[in-house]
Amino acid sequence: MDAVFDTFKLRAEAVSAEVHRFPHKNEALDFILHYLRDAGVSDAPQAYAVWASCPFLDGVDQKQLSTAMPGLIFDVNREVSAAAKVGISQLDWAIANTGTLVQDAARVDQRLVSTLPLIHIALIRSDRIVPDLPSALAKIRPEQTNYISFITGPSRTADIERVLTIGVHGPEKLIIVFYDVLLDEPGSVN
Amino acid sequence: METKFRESINKALHNPNLTGALGRFSEAYRISRQKAYEGYDFEALRTQIAERKSYAASHLDELADLFTKNAEARGTKVFRTNDPAKVREYILNLARENGVKSVVKSKSMASEEIHLNKHLEAAGIEVGETDLGEWIVQLAGQTPSHMVMPAIHMSKEEVTTVFNEQVEEGQKPDIPKLVKFARGKLRAKFLNAEMGITGANIAVAETGTLVIVTNEGNARLVTTLPKLHVAIVGIEKLMEKFDDVVPVLTALPKSATAQLMTSYVSMISGPVPNTDGTPKQLHIILMDNRRTEMSQDPKFKQAMQCIRCASCLNVCPVFRLVGGHVFGKVYTGGIGTILTAWFDALKSSDDIQSLCIQCGNCTEVCPGKIDIPGLILELRRRLAVEQGQPLAQKAIFSVVNNRRLFHSMLRAGSLMQKPLQKDGFIRHLPFFLSEMTEFRSLPAIAEVPFRDTFKKIQQPASKEKIAFYAGCLIDFAYPEMGDSLVKILNKAGIEVVFPEGQTCCGAPARYSGAYEVAAQNASDNINALLADDVTYVVSACPTCTAALKQEFIGTFESLGQTGSVPRARELADKVIDFSSLVKKLVDEGRLKFKEGQQLGKITYHDSCHLKRTLHASQPPRDLLTQAGYEIAEMYEADMCCGMGGSYSLKLPEISAPILERKLTNIKNSGAPLAVMDCPGCVMQIRGGLDKQNSTIKVEHTVQRLVDELE
């Protein structure tokens, strides 16, 4: 487990992603709230944070969170996503040897929160790391969903003079947050 | 060659932004590509890709049917056509039916191939390219100069000017700021567009899935925000199984941009909900445009194995000098020449096919295992059949084809050149021939060709005989290389025979598309070289060796002269290059180096055919090291020297700067002596250094070994 995590972290950081890991959901949540505060999220256009519904949120009091963190929106649509600074979603699998995240992204909110805002926080369970592409494609198949997304680092271009520049059309920051899950906890269901 | 084409070459060569950016890129690419493939078995990977793509190319109809069935079962509309006009019409109708005023596109070479933007714009529809490079090129009113990096020919200052003039004043040449500016401007377009157009990198038949690879994230927005998604897919993208995605998706990012994985990959297998909850309209156009015809051509079928990574452009010594615009069409570089010949017209490749110097760099990196130089030769052959050869060329080959006439002309040349020659070099030629000596001196034709000096060499009689194939350069320009070769083999107790009937190896004719001439040369040589009972046929010219060992067979097969193939194979089995033969004799203990020699530093240049056709880059290095030399490797030792046989005569303006790079790399090695296995390379490099008055010596390996063996 730790070896694949280390490989993943190394590869993801090599393509400018940030990688964090927490032993429990609550700590991951604390980290995210601190992050949103530091990023200047507030109840103003261009400063929202949009959070697409996901297993991580099971058992989390969303109302209380929204009150505590003004500008944090769980009711995701096109307009608020286009006016958001941060987008949060849960990813399904991580590929260690390329530092890639994989997601069933048929639901449009999954893509809105990870394409339009400047910062994407990607939540993922620590037990969802597979070693390579073939093992990921064995887990997630096109028969199950019409849209599979692979995300490896933030959006990038080298189209002007081949100079690598982060953040073109998609996020300029990708923050990957792993959280460890005990089998009887909520959110441990596949 | 058209004047317009020559002008475009010269324009490119004199554009320092272009040659600078491409030059730096090609140097960095080589290293970063290698790093990206660390830990991967590239040969195994590309064999898998070639097999899977080749299978698809032989089952196009079946796979297109299966793809259509599976995609339609999930609510996608699939439209299949051979006709680019029908593709444009389909999209235009769709746009009209849905009141589309604005379209956003992520990169699609297939849409460029059919000039879609022009047609949509003519119908009053706004079309926005969203890939940054494509957008810049679109704003500038240009075409992409590279499949993966469309605007690589422009500096940040030029991009700034384009933004200031076409979008909004006040931009500064600061790359991160220019990118931010583009993000802002294009974001509005994404949000307003009613239709999104993409291409696809793979189309999986068994699941009806499109795989789309990007770095900027534009394809994700194009497939998410507009309510209509149209994907234009060339049918060469079809693959049978979902598992076929693995090898292609493993190789594509590494070969294209030296990334382990691109930032984004989208796998779309059916319509997804729009942002307002309605289902998206998903249309997939399977475009043929002569691809089926190509897949049925026994030679060109392999071009269907292309995954559009453009690595053949990135390693090409010519492309890095001239860039993509000289190709004049949508597809550029080596593979682009082939695709243009098919998707546009054979005659459209007439000029651009001549850019290939046949160095073979691309064959080493192609993840689809396509023999690009081989296919370009086949284009040449077909062009020569269709249009006939140029008159002057015809006259030359009729001479080459007549051995006696050819040889007596060369002898006469040795007398005629007298007034022009000095220290064994011709430095200037009069009139139109002067271009030949502009950037390098040419060797003087030897007074006595090797075929005559050979008769005077006293050899110890031996049971074991090896036939020597000299080739034109050693025979008529460098007979001393032949003398040394005989001496070395004599030291091993082998007698050398020189079959008199040998003639030109046919490479010049073959590389010009004159296959009949090459076949005649092949027959003459086979008859001459198989006449004696010898253990080997050795040549000290890798181009000749490659011709004898491989190309005779290929030439006969191309012409359907299959009856001649068995004898060609018999010869091929006996043929060996000089260094590999000597290495073998040393390993067997039949030749010994003098002991304890310290001969100093040299640098070694890999000749194209020796390294990439005969795969013998190690034997000469081993021999020179064993002899007592210390090899100081030059940068890009295996990069072409720009000779390419008659290439340096046809395109001296390209040959010269390629040579220039080679000379710089030789000088930077710090060695006073450059050694190589090809008399053609010796001619080019020695001539180039002579023109620069350099003191660095240039020698064939045979010359460096002859005195060091006991």
The pLDDT tens digits of the residues spanning B188-245 come to: 999 999 999 999 999 999 999 999 999 999 999 999 999 999 999 999 999 999 999 9
pTM of the complete model: 0.92
Identity at B608, one-letter amino acid code: C
CB contact under 8 A, A154 and B263: yes
Q: Which of A16, A146, A173 to mutate to test the interface with B (most CBs of B within 10 A)?
A: A146
Does B672 score more than 60 pLDDT? yes
Does B81 contact A at CB distance below 8 Å? Answer: no
Does residue A56 sit within a domain? yes
C-alpha span between B573 and B571 (Å, rounded): 5
Does A159 contact B at CB distance below 8 Å? Answer: yes
Does B431 score more than 50 pLDDT? no
What's A8's domain CATH number? 3.40.50.10420
Does residue A139 sit within a domain? yes
Q: Which residues of A touch B38 (CB under 8 A)?
A: none
Q: Which of A159, A162, A163 to mutate to test the interface with B (most CBs of B within 10 A)?
A: A159
- Across chain B, what does the average pLDDT equal? 93
pLDDT class for B36, splitting at 50, 70, 90? very high
pLDDT class for B432, splitting at 50, 70, 90? very low
Length of chain A (residues): 190
Among B136, B208, B216, the residue with its CB nearest the CB of A169 is B216
Q: Which of B22, B179, B213, B250 to mutate to test the interface with A (most CBs of A within 10 A)?
A: B179
Q: Which residues of A touch B243 (CB under 8 A)?
A: 134, 137
C-alpha span between A177 and A164 (Å, rounded): 25
For chain B, domains (ranges, CATH) are 6-292 (3.40.50.10420), 431-586 (1.20.1050), 593-705 (3.40.50)
B507-511: list long-range contacts, CB under 8 Å, 24+ apart: B507/B543, B507/B544, B507/B546, B507/B547, B507/B551, B507/B645, B508/B397, B508/B400, B508/B645, B508/B646, B509/B397, B509/B400, B509/B401, B510/B377, B510/B547, B510/B551, B510/B555, B511/B358, B511/B377, B511/B380, B511/B644, B511/B645, B511/B646, B511/B647
Q: Which of B29, B70, B261 to mutate to test the interface with A (most CBs of A within 10 A)?
A: B261
Confidence (pLDDT) at A187: 47
Does A152 contact B at CB distance below 8 Å? Answer: yes
What is the number of domains present in chain A?
1
To which H or E segment does residue B204 belong? strand B202-204
How confident is the model over B617-636, as a mean pLDDT? 98
CB contact under 8 A, B132 and A160: yes
How confident is the model over B115-120, as a mean pLDDT? 96
Confidence (pLDDT) at A160: 92
CB contact under 8 A, B242 and A142: yes
How confident is the model over B452-463, as a mean pLDDT? 93
Confidence (pLDDT) at B415: 60
φ, ψ dihedrals at A41, nearest 5°:
-65, 135
CB contact under 8 A, B275 and A151: no
Does residue A185 sit within a domain? no
Residue of B nearest to A134 (CA): B246
Min mean pLDDT across A37-46, A112-121, B140-149, B464-473 is at B140-149
Does residue A35 sit within a domain? yes
Min mean pLDDT across B84-93, B503-512, B584-593 is at B503-512
Closest residue by Cα to residue B443 from B481, B406, B408: B481
**What whole-number percentage of chain B has pLDDT above 70?**
93
> When comparing pLDDT for B154 and B212, which is higher?
B212
pLDDT class for B536, splitting at 50, 70, 90? very high
Confidence (pLDDT) at B564: 97
Confidence (pLDDT) at B387: 81
Residue of A nearest to B264 (CA): A151
Helix (H, G, I), strand (E, B) or coil at B568: helix
Residue of B nearest to A15 (CA): B263
Does residue A167 sit within a domain? yes
Does B429 score more than 90 pLDDT? no
Confidence (pLDDT) at A189: 42
> When comparing pLDDT for B652 and B250, which is higher?
B250
Closest residue by Cα to residue B710 from B596, B579, B580: B596
Does residue A95 sit within a domain? yes
Q: What is the dihedral of CA A178, A183, A184, A190, to 10 degrees?
A: 70
User: Quick one: B303 exposed, middle or buried, by C-beta within 10 A (0-12, 13-18, 19+)?
Assistant: buried
Does residue A187 sit within a domain? no
Does A110 contact B at CB distance below 8 Å? Answer: no
**What whole-number percentage of chain B has pLDDT above 90?**
82
Does A87 contact B at CB distance below 8 Å? Answer: no
CB contact under 8 A, B131 and A159: yes
Among A108, A115, A147, the residue with its CB nearest the CB of B217 is A115
Token pair in block for residue B179: 């990118």
How confident is the model over B282-303, as a mean pLDDT? 97
Which residue segment(s) compose the domain that A147 sits in? 2-179
Shortest Cα distance from B699 to chain A (angstroms)?
39
Strands (E), chain A: 18-22, 48-51, 72-73, 84-90, 93-95, 100-104, 119-125, 129-130, 147-151, 156-157, 165-166, 173-179
Does B611 score more than 60 pLDDT? yes
How confident is the model over B43-59, as a mean pLDDT? 98
Does B156 contact A at CB distance below 8 Å? Answer: yes
For chain B positions 632-661, those within 8 Å of chain A (CB to CB) are none
Confidence (pLDDT) at A43: 96
Shortest Cα distance from B215 to chain A (angstroms)?
5
Does A80 contact B at CB distance below 8 Å? Answer: no
CB contact under 8 A, B269 and A77: no
ipTM of the complex: 0.96
